[in-house]
Structure 1
């Protein structure tokens, strides 16, 4: 029976459910998502030569090291110095069924595509409720992610855009705040998983800006945990988060092999 259904339907495996979706309907949804991103890509893309990308990479890296709050320069460095890493991420997504679905439908995470009020109404402990609590408590918004400008291939540009838009979900999953200690810890996980030079740089040099007490906790607890988590957990870019808002986050942790950090109270 399942084989007959698969002939004209697509079997979607989401949290706790198996959805049978007509392939022609899925194709329409997929085409809409792909077309919308391609339109956004064309409107923001800036054509650059290899030499121009090199200059942008060097300049943005220098500014980012001097001022880690320059999100625009960090974004430029990620795009112009991360070609090999983005291709690696694309390959990892293409090798996974859930990653393939993300690439096929090209979902976006912002206040226009995600019903944030609906997430607030979800039960405590679900991914959606935990995510909106993270956004509210840290006073951040999913609309703050810059569009990709300097990646020339639309598929690679989407992978980079997706990484930016799920960054706050990485924080949510890992239980890390947006202070410097939390950011450096998340950057270690991202560096191991994505191989992006901007993440590697943030992980290595971000720790230099920690206060002495923070640095002690970082070396003893946060750094070993981040390295272990980034190495052992499943590839976080392959999670279709929009299909999992109602999933208990503890269950998602078990699925992804994430063990939450426990720091003894001093």
Structure 2
């Protein structure tokens, strides 16, 4: 049995090592799908090159360099959801806090050591998952989660998202049973992917500075309009 507390990725890992650690993370996530360490680690294993490319992009802009230097965090231990929920309705802070309350979940947490900027970008990507639900409007049901993965694939080229979408194709029968036809499901994924491709990259946004900004304002700035699939 794999002990998630012993899993780690060495410096400059080979592709074989990354795949081995990723498979071990999958074993853990089968029984513990919300495991924070394995959730972040599998992202880094599969998307190491993607994150490295993002780091290089950030190093060529003042805002990106500042983000990598200061490493702001959206982890639960630094978020005061009660304060955020006291903000006016419709603001990012209020809607973000209400998202957690309505879905009866808690903000992302991890104890995985950040040994590099690449590790930080992997962590930042995980932290922004719930914020993206709020900004894009994609639901937290099975279809909405897959739409968000398609959006992330289009926006950043995240390979983990592609892997999740591939695995979800085996659940297509269950999606059809839920009342959404298979062709409609695929159209929604394609629309989300194209929306992500058409939207500005979101990882360099200091969401922590926008708690009082209306979600509608941020959505207009950061997300391409949602396409009708009917």
TM-score range, shorter chain: 0.7 to 0.9
Kept in 2: contact 1:188–1:226 (CA 8 A) = yes
Paired with 2:41 and 2:221, the residues of 1 have a C-alpha distance of 33
Paired with 1:208 and 1:185, the residues of 2 have a C-alpha distance of 16
Q: Give TM-score, length-normalised by structure 1.
A: 0.70
Q: Which runs of 5+ in 2 are unaligned?
A: none
CA separation of 1:54 and 1:208: change in aligned 2, threshold 3 A: closer
Paired with 2:104 and 2:59, the residues of 1 have a C-alpha distance of 34
Deviations, residues 24-80 of structure 1 (Å, cap 9, x unaligned):
xxxxxxxxxxxxxxxxxxx9994635354332234445776xx49634454432222
Local SS of the residue matching 2:216: helix
Larger strand fraction of residues: 1
Aligned pair 1:122/2:87, yes or no?
A: yes
Paired with 2:32 and 2:140, the residues of 1 have a C-alpha distance of 12
- Extract structure 1 runs of 4+ deviating beyond 6 A: none
Paired with 2:60 and 2:163, the residues of 1 have a C-alpha distance of 27
- What does residue 166 of structure 2 align with? 204
Deviations, residues 187-236 of structure 1 (Å, cap 9, x unaligned):
1111222323211111232243242133443223x223212211011101
Larger radius of gyration: 1
Deviates more, 1:190-199 or 1:119-128: 190-199
Q: Considering only aligned residues, what root-mean-square deviation do their CA atoms show, in Å?
A: 2.9
Deviates more, 1:94-103 or 1:185-194: 94-103
Within-5 A mapping of 1:132-171: 132-142=97-107, 144-148=108-112, 153-171=115-133
Kept in 1: contact 2:22–2:45 (CA 8 A) = yes
Paired with 2:17 and 2:71, the residues of 1 have a C-alpha distance of 29
- What does residue 142 of structure 2 align with? 180
Kept in 2: contact 1:134–1:172 (CA 8 A) = yes
Paired with 1:201 and 1:76, the residues of 2 have a C-alpha distance of 15
Paired with 2:101 and 2:111, the residues of 1 have a C-alpha distance of 23
Deviates more, 1:105-114 or 1:167-176: 105-114
Kept in 1: contact 2:146–2:165 (CA 8 A) = yes
Paired with 1:262 and 1:193, the residues of 2 have a C-alpha distance of 19
Deviation at 1:261, TM superposition (A): 5.6
- What does residue 199 of structure 2 align with? 233
- What does residue 98 of structure 1 align with? 63
Aligned pair 1:76/2:65, yes or no?
A: no
Paired with 2:34 and 2:70, the residues of 1 have a C-alpha distance of 27
Q: How many residues align?
A: 216
Paired with 2:229 and 2:103, the residues of 1 have a C-alpha distance of 21
Q: Give TM-score, length-normalised by structure 2.
A: 0.80
Kept in 2: contact 1:184–1:207 (CA 8 A) = no
Q: Which runs of 5+ in 1 are unaligned?
A: 1-42
